[in-house]
Structure 1
Amino acid sequence: MNFDEYCQQKAAPPGSSTYYALRQAPAASQPLLTALFALRREFEETVKETSDPSIGRTKLAWWQNEIASLAAGTPSHPVSKALAAYLADVQAESPALQALLAGYETDLDQARYLDYPNLRRYVQGVGGTFAALVARASAKDKNAAAGWAAPLGDALMLAQFVAETGNDARHGRIYIPVDEMQRFKVPAADLINRKYTEAFTELMRFETKRARDAVTSARAAIPAAERRSQRTLIALAALALALLDEVERDGYQVLHQSIALTPVRKLWIAWRAK
């Protein structure tokens, strides 16, 4: 298996939202974008699918060294080799890659967030940093890309938190700020034990509205001159909004199941996104 095939399987298996979003990108940008999404998936798996934090830290330390090797021109991992092949300036993006890694490392140290400003720092480290990397891969004005891409990355993370509330809780992580859960009188035990209440519904209505407003605003802020080159991010935004609508229609029943769009619907939404 060559590194392109590895990245495709890791980042965008057929039927996934990423698969359809990547297909909207300009053909010349797709290999690099796929490699970036594969790298993010590697980091996600390390922190969210490793039960022992010490093992997770060891794996992240390996990735830290691998990113340094990538910058030095001696990558060994298939994803790193793909990035070496397609990134125009590896050394220029190396700090952002390290920042993304550091953002995911937070998941090994922190499972709850006191308030929204604390959560937002994590979201910016993971979501905003990644979206900026994706945007710069094909942006006409790479220097300005982070300014409009990072807020969209943050917003996409908020939408993901809504849909994955139950799954995250089952893995010991709650991305709803503590003070907001207290305001709506929803104890963490309700999320862990999959207990639906009127209070939980009101809490999720609040979280969903914030995520939807953030995605809508950030998508609208993408400059007109960049919209054609940023079809992947635009498609991801459209898919996130559609998923939030589905969660809402299902009465926020996200604790015991994963609500998802069908592959055909994903294809249609991604193709029509603008």
Structure 2
Amino acid sequence: MSPDEYCQQKAAQSGSSFYYSFLFLPQARRRAITALYAFCREVDDVVDESTDDMVARSKLGWWRKEVQAMLANQPTHPVTKALLPHMADYQLDGAHMLAIIDGMEMDLNQTRYLDFNALQKYCWHVAGVVGILSASIFGITNPQTREFAEKLGLAFQMTNIIRDVGEDTRKGRIYLPVNELQQFNVTAADILNARHSTQFETLMQFQYERAQKLYEEAFALLPPEDRKAQRTGLIMAAIYRALLVEIQRDGFHVLNQRISLTPIRKLWLAWKTYVRG
């Protein structure tokens, strides 16, 4: 199996909404974004699949060394081998790759966030940076496009947090800010015990409105001259916003189930967004 085939398999197996947006890219850019996505999956899986924090830290340390080896033109892993040719082509910053790993390690160091400002720092590492790298692969002529991509990454991460409240809690993490739980009279015990309530719905409506505002702020930052190049990001946004609306329509019943869109709906949204340009 070639490095590119390994990354393709990793991306396809994930079933992620992102995968559908990659389908409309030219071949070279599709290989690059698939390799980047596979890298993100690899380091994310280190934390999600490990039951021992020391083992997870050791593996993340290995990935840091592997990124440095890739930057020195000596990669050993299929993902970094697949990424290497694209680093210079799309001006990808190795420091951003390391920042993603730092974000994964934050999950080993911290399971709660006092307020949204603190949560945003985490989101920058695990999503904002990914947005910037992705936008570089898609094509940038105006530097402001990086701001669009960073903000869009934050919107995606907030959508993930809303969708995965129950699942994350079962892993020992509550990303909803502590001060906002207090504001809406929802306790950590309520979430841990999957107690759905009117207060919880109000809290989640607040998170929903914030996420929608982040999408609008991101779109306002996208320069017209880069809109066509960034269609893949817009496809991702169409799918994620549709998911966000679906979660709201379902009454935010996210404590004991994972709400998702069907593959055919994701594909339809991707096609519709691509055609619209």
Alignment match, 1:18: 18
Checking the alignment, whether the CA contact within 8 Å between 1:25 and 1:230 is kept in structure 2 is no
Checking the alignment, whether the CA contact within 8 Å between 2:152 and 2:218 is kept in structure 1 is yes
Alignment match, 2:74: 74
Summarize deviations over 1:142-177 as a string: whole Å, max 9, x none: 754422211111111011110111111111111100
Within 5 Å, give how 1:53-132 maps onto structure 2.
Answer: 53-88=53-88, 93-132=93-132
- Which piece of structure 1 moves more, 231-240 or 87-96? 87-96
Which letter maps to 1:71?
A: L
Alignment match, 2:189: 189
* Structure 2: tracts of 5 or more residues without a match: none
* Structure 1: tracts of 5 or more residues without a match: none
Superposed displacement of residue 88, structure 1: 2.1
Superposed displacement of residue 205, structure 1: 0.7
Pairing 1:156–2:156 present = yes
Distance in 1, matches of 2:125 and 2:113, equals: 14
Checking the alignment, whether the CA contact within 8 Å between 1:115 and 1:180 is kept in structure 2 is yes
Summarize deviations over 1:182-236 as a string: whole Å, max 9, x none: 1111111111111111110111111111111112321342222112211221111
Checking the alignment, whether the CA contact within 8 Å between 1:159 and 1:212 is kept in structure 2 is no
Which letter maps to 2:60?
A: L
Superposed displacement of residue 27, structure 1: 3.0
Checking the alignment, whether the CA contact within 8 Å between 1:124 and 1:150 is kept in structure 2 is yes
Superposed displacement of residue 69, structure 1: 0.2
For the structure 1 residues 235 and 61, does the alpha-carbon distance in structure 2 shift closer, same or farther, using more than 3 Å as the test?
A: same
- Which piece of structure 1 moves more, 232-241 or 89-98? 89-98
Which letter maps to 1:102?
A: D
Summarize deviations over 1:89-117 as a string: whole Å, max 9, x none: 59861111111111221111001000111
Alignment match, 2:30: 30
Distance in 2, matches of 1:92 and 1:194, equals: 41
Alignment match, 1:168: 168
For the structure 1 residues 223 and 63, does the alpha-carbon distance in structure 2 shift closer, same or farther, using more than 3 Å as the test?
A: same
Checking the alignment, whether the CA contact within 8 Å between 2:53 and 2:108 is kept in structure 1 is yes
For the structure 1 residues 92 and 258, does the alpha-carbon distance in structure 2 shift closer, same or farther, using more than 3 Å as the test?
A: closer
Pairing 1:180–2:168 present = no
Pairing 1:232–2:232 present = yes
Identity across aligned pairs (percent)?
Answer: 42
Which letter maps to 1:151?
A: K
TM-score (norm 1): 0.95
Distance in 1, matches of 2:256 and 2:265, equals: 23
Checking the alignment, whether the CA contact within 8 Å between 1:100 and 1:129 is kept in structure 2 is yes
Write out the 4+ residue segments of structure 1 that deviate beyond 4 Å after TM superposition: 89-92
Which letter maps to 2:148?
A: W
Distance in 2, matches of 1:82 and 1:257, equals: 35
Checking the alignment, whether the CA contact within 8 Å between 2:7 and 2:35 is kept in structure 1 is yes
